[in-house]
Amino acid sequence: MLIEKSLLKSKIENQVGVLFNKSIDEANEFEIYQGLSKALLETISKNWLETRKKYETGKQAFYFSAEFLMGRALGNNLINLGLDKEVKEILKEIGFDLNSVEATEEDAGLGNGGLGRLAACFMDSLVTLNLPGQGYGIKYKNGIFKQKIVDGFQVETPETWLRYGDVWTICRPCEEVVVEFGDGKVRAVPYDMPVIGYGTKNVNTLRLWEAKAMEELNLKAFNDQDYDEALKDVNAAEDISRILYPNDSTNEGKKLRLKQQYFFTSASLQDIIRKFKKIHGTDFEKLPEFVSIQLNDTHPVIAIPELMRILCDVEGLLWNDAWAIAQKTFAYTNHTILSEALEKWWIGLYEEVVPRIFQITQRIHFQFLDLLEEKFPKDKERRERMSIIQGNLIHMAWLAIYGSFATNGVAALHTDILKHIELKEWYELFPERFLNKTNGITQRRWLLEANPELSKLITELIGDKWITDFSQMKNLEKYVADEKVTDRFLEIKSEKKKQLAQFIEKTQGIKINPDSIFDIQIKRLHEYKRQLLNILHILDLYYRLKENPNMEIHPVTYIFGAKSAPGYMRAKGTIRLINEVAQIINNDPEIKDMIKVVFIENYNVSSAALLFPAADISEQISTAGKEASGTGNMKFMINGALTFGTLDGANVEIVEEAGIENNYIFGLKVEDIEELKKKGYDPHVPYEKTKGLKRVVDALIDGTLNDEGTGLYKELYDSLLKGASWHKPDQYFVLEDFEDFRKTQEKINKDFADRKVWAKKAWINISNGGKFSSDRTIEEYAKEIWKIASQKI
Ligand SMILES: *Cc1c(COP(=O)(O)O)cnc(C)c1O
Known catalytic membership, residue 631: yes
**Best mutation site among 68, 69, 441, 526 for ligand 1 pocket (most ligand atoms within 8 Å of CB):** 69
Q: Which residues on neighbouring strands pair with residue 620, listed in sequence order? A: 645
Query: Band of the pLDDT at 337, cuts 50, 70, 90?
Result: confident
Mutual angle of helices 74-81 and 29-56, in 10-degree steps: 60
| CA–CA distance, 734 with 538 (Å, rounded to integer) | 14
Given 3.90.1150.10, 3.30.310.50, 3.40.50.2000, 3.30.420.40, which CATH number is that of 251-437?
3.40.50.2000
Comparing C-alpha atoms, which of 245, 255, 252 is closest to residue 183?
Answer: 255
Which residue, judged by its Cα, is nearest atom 7 of ligand 1? 632
Which tens digit of pLDDT belongs to each residue from 453-483?
A: 999 999 999 999 999 999 999 999 999 999 9
Query: Band of the pLDDT at 251, cuts 50, 70, 90?
Result: low
Known catalytic membership, residue 438: no
Separation of 523 CA from ligand 1 center, angstroms?
5
Residue 592 confidence (pLDDT): 83
Is residue 58 within 8 A of residue 132, CB to CB? The reply is yes
Residue 702 confidence (pLDDT): 97
Which residue, judged by its Cα, is nearest atom 3 of ligand 1? 114
Instruction: From residue 251, give the alpha-carbon distance in Å to each of 113, 154, 218, 254, 498.
Output: 15, 20, 33, 6, 40
Residue 338 confidence (pLDDT): 84
Examine domains 251-437 and 472-668+733-778 and report if their fold is the same. Answer: yes
**Overall average pLDDT of the 382-404 stretch:** 97
| CA–CA distance, 103 with 72 (Å, rounded to integer) | 9
**Overall average pLDDT of the 606-612 stretch:** 98
| CA–CA distance, 221 with 230 (Å, rounded to integer) | 5
> In the CATH hierarchy, which top-level class contains the domain 472-668+733-778?
alpha beta
Which ligand 1 atom minimizes the distance to the CA of 441?
1
User: Quick check: 254 pLDDT over 90?
Assistant: no
**Nearest 10 degrees: CA dihedral of 295, 300, 301, 306?**
-120
Which tens digit of pLDDT belongs to each residue from 271-314?
A: 999 999 999 999 999 999 999 999 999 999 999 999 999 999 99
Residue 661 confidence (pLDDT): 98
Predicted structure pTM score: 0.98
Residue 13 confidence (pLDDT): 96
**Of 207, 309, 524, 563, which residue is the catalytic one?**
524
Is residue 47 within 8 A of residue 201, CB to CB? The reply is yes
**Overall average pLDDT of the 214-242 stretch:** 94
**Best mutation site among 524, 530, 564, 634 for ligand 1 pocket (most ligand atoms within 8 Å of CB):** 524
Comparing C-alpha atoms, which of 644, 611, 658 is closest to residue 771?
Answer: 658
Separation of 484 CA from ligand 1 center, angstroms?
33
User: Quick check: 722 pLDDT over 70?
Assistant: yes
Is residue 17 within 8 A of residue 23, CB to CB? The reply is yes
**Overall average pLDDT of the 205-217 stretch:** 96
- CB burial class (10 A; 0-12, 13-18, 19+) of residue 62? buried
**Of 72, 299, 576, 635, which residue is the catalytic one?**
635
Which residue, judged by its Cα, is nearest atom 15 of ligand 1? 605
Which tens digit of pLDDT belongs to each residue from 89-133?
A: 999 999 999 999 999 999 998 999 999 999 999 999 999 999 999
Separation of 116 CA from ligand 1 center, angstroms?
9
**Of 128, 486, 631, 646, which residue is the catalytic one?**
631
Query: Band of the pLDDT at 252, cuts 50, 70, 90?
Result: low
Which ligand 1 atom minimizes the distance to the CA of 649?
8
SS3 of 624-681: the string is CCCCCCCCHHHHHHHCCCEEEECCCCCHHHHHHHHCHHHCEECCCCHHHHHHHHHHCC
**Of 38, 72, 335, 526, which residue is the catalytic one?**
335
Which residue, judged by its Cα, is nearest atom 1 of ligand 1? 632
**Of 38, 488, 523, 626, which residue is the catalytic one?**
523
Which residue, judged by its Cα, is nearest atom 10 of ligand 1? 113
Residue 713 confidence (pLDDT): 98
Q: Which amino acid is at 692?
A: G
Residue 109 confidence (pLDDT): 86
Known catalytic membership, residue 335: yes
Separation of 598 CA from ligand 1 center, angstroms?
18
Residue 245 confidence (pLDDT): 81
| CA–CA distance, 414 with 408 (Å, rounded to integer) | 9
Residue 248 confidence (pLDDT): 55
The domain ranges of the chain are 251-437, 472-668+733-778
Instruction: Give residues with Cβ within 8 angstroms of 199, minimum separation 6.
Output: 80, 82, 128, 467, 468
Residue 342 confidence (pLDDT): 85
Ligand 1 pocket (Cβ < 6 Å) reads 113-114, 117, 523-524, 604-605, 608, 630-632, 635
Is residue 131 within 8 A of residue 101, CB to CB? The reply is no
Which residue, judged by its Cα, is nearest atom 6 of ligand 1? 632
| CA–CA distance, 719 with 692 (Å, rounded to integer) | 19
| CA–CA distance, 771 with 779 (Å, rounded to integer) | 12
**Overall average pLDDT of the 177-186 stretch:** 97
Separation of 635 CA from ligand 1 center, angstroms?
9
Instruction: Give residues with Cβ within 8 angstroms of 107, minimum separation 6.
Output: 70, 71, 72, 161, 604, 605, 606
Separation of 115 CA from ligand 1 center, angstroms?
8
SS3 of 549-581: the string is CCCCCCCEEEEEECCCCCCCHHHHHHHHHHHHH
Contacts 24+ apart (CB under 8 A), 373-381: 375/429
- CB burial class (10 A; 0-12, 13-18, 19+) of residue 569? middle
Known catalytic membership, residue 529: yes
Query: Band of the pLDDT at 512, cuts 50, 70, 90?
Result: very high
Which tens digit of pLDDT belongs to each residue from 518-530?
A: 999 999 999 999 9
**Overall average pLDDT of the 567-576 stretch:** 96
Separation of 254 CA from ligand 1 center, angstroms?
25
% of the chain beyond a pLDDT of 70: 99
User: Quick check: 15 pLDDT over 70?
Assistant: yes
Which residue, judged by its Cα, is nearest atom 8 of ligand 1? 630
Separation of 118 CA from ligand 1 center, angstroms?
9
Separation of 113 CA from ligand 1 center, angstroms?
5
Is residue 777 within 8 A of residue 438, CB to CB? The reply is yes
Which ligand 1 atom minimizes the distance to the CA of 631?
8
| CA–CA distance, 701 with 696 (Å, rounded to integer) | 10
Which ligand 1 atom minimizes the distance to the CA of 529?
9
Query: Band of the pLDDT at 246, cuts 50, 70, 90?
Result: low
Backbone φ, ψ for residue 442 (5° rounding): -85, 125
| CA–CA distance, 576 with 438 (Å, rounded to integer) | 34
**Best mutation site among 447, 522, 605, 617 for ligand 1 pocket (most ligand atoms within 8 Å of CB):** 522
Which ligand 1 atom minimizes the distance to the CA of 629?
8
| CA–CA distance, 555 with 559 (Å, rounded to integer) | 13
